[in-house]
Amino acid sequence: MQFLDRARIVVKAGGGGNGVMAFRREKFVPRGGPSGGDGGRGGSIFLESTDQLNSLLQFRFNPEFRANRGAHGEGSNRTGRDGEDITVLVPTGTLVRDSESGETIYDFSRAGERVLIAEGGRGGRGNARFATSTNRAPRRHEDGQPGVVRALDLELKLIADVGLVGFPNAGKSTLISRISAARPKIADYPFTTLEPHLGVVSFGEMETFVVADIPGLIEGAHRGTGLGLEFLRHIERTKLLLHVVDVSSTGRDPVSDFLVICRELELYKTDLLAKPQMVAASKMDALDDAERVDRLREFVATRGLELFEISSVTGHGLDRLVSALGSRVREIQRAACAS
């Protein structure tokens, strides 16, 4: 499944209906008078954030949104019907900018936020509005005003259900490439991943969750060392953290690596470690000392965490990990809806 994190759309609010010129011609009303009604207001366009969407893919096929114009006024002082407003749903985490000026219009950080993005045109006034004591039969009326037309750039910040954290070359990119359609750059040198990648993972019956491959963190990331500071911000938005720990013969200690990453998360924002967490021992195919995994398993167990042994190269343990991640994400989402 393809993930799209940027899109451009055009919104066209409805124009206002025209006011009309009319005069009463009624029996028993000898003098008559102006009776032209006002035009209706054009429909406006709103953007509203929702947790039911996790990509901007739908805007690739439907990039234009147009609201109806207001109806024209009628005689007997009848005002035209207002155009119907349109609400366009966007994923929570969408940043909206004006395409021409680059100005940030709104940053949707929570579900249920609703913003007027293009206002409908005001309806024109009918000639009844212009009657005065000195001009009792005005022949003046107004056309409706046009609605606002805007081109918008949408950018979805990394709102992922699962954030992969770990040292550079811990195996995060290979993992996301195996469990989703994401194809990040993979190589055997530090900081191969220079920007976050998202992948949509399928599990169960027609269920999905989004995984973010956060670029490798190192000690001092909370102060901006390496690439960490910029991408630590994205971790704030995830529902669940998956620690990917390299247990192969890298020269580093798995328990120490796990503690360093936890420390960086805590120093950046104290409540990050309050998020639900899981641990994956990666590169099991290159394991040369089983004690490395045993020590990591015993340590994370003291924190109430389960260890999943995986190999993204051979596929060992991936099905079990995906199932566990999907089930946990589902639990978190249900708990959030209940509250």
What is the model's pLDDT at position 226? 40
What is the model's pLDDT at position 89? 95
What is the model's pLDDT at position 221? 38
Cβ-Cβ contacts under 8 Å for 295 (sequence gap 6 or more)? 254, 255
Residue 112 is encoded by which pair of tokens? 């249920």
What is the model's pLDDT at position 159? 64
pTM: 0.58
Domain residue ranges of the chain, discontinuous segments joined by +: 6-156, 162-338
Euclidean distance between CA atoms 314 and 10, whole angstroms: 46
What is the model's pLDDT at position 319? 93
| Alpha helix (H) residue ranges in 48-117 | 58-61
What is the model's pLDDT at position 196? 61
What is the model's pLDDT at position 65? 97
Q: Which fold has domain 162-338?
A: Rossmann fold (3.40.50)
Q: Taking the C-alpha atoms of 199, 200, 201 and 203 in order, what is their torsion angle to the nearest 10 degrees?
A: 170
What is the model's pLDDT at position 28? 67
What is the model's pLDDT at position 2? 38
Cβ-Cβ contacts under 8 Å for 59 (sequence gap 6 or more)? 4, 7, 8, 9, 154
What is the model's pLDDT at position 198? 74
Would you list the DSSP string of 147-186? PPEEEEEEEE----SEEEE-STTSSHHHHHHHHSS-----
For the four alpha carbons of 175, 180, 186 and 189, in that order, the dihedral sign comes to negative
What is the model's pLDDT at position 158? 59
What are the φ/ψ torsions at residue 160 (nearest 5 degrees)?
A: -110, 150
pLDDT tens, N- to C-terminus, the chain (339 residues):
334 578 999 999 999 999 999 988 777 666 678 999 999 999 999 999 998 887 787 898 889 999 999 999 998 899 999 999 999 999 888 999 999 999 999 999 888 999 999 999 999 999 999 988 888 889 899 999 999 999 999 988 756 789 888 888 788 888 988 888 655 444 343 433 445 677 788 887 768 888 887 765 544 433 444 444 455 566 777 889 999 999 987 667 999 999 988 888 888 777 888 899 999 999 999 888 889 999 999 999 999 999 999 999 999 999 999 999 999 999 988 887 776
What are the φ/ψ torsions at residue 153 (nearest 5 degrees)?
A: -100, 125
Q: What is the CA radius of gyration of the chain?
A: 29
What is the model's pLDDT at position 53? 82
Euclidean distance between CA atoms 334 and 311, whole angstroms: 30
Class of CATH domain 6-156: mainly beta
Residue 54, H or E segment: none
What is the model's pLDDT at position 182? 56
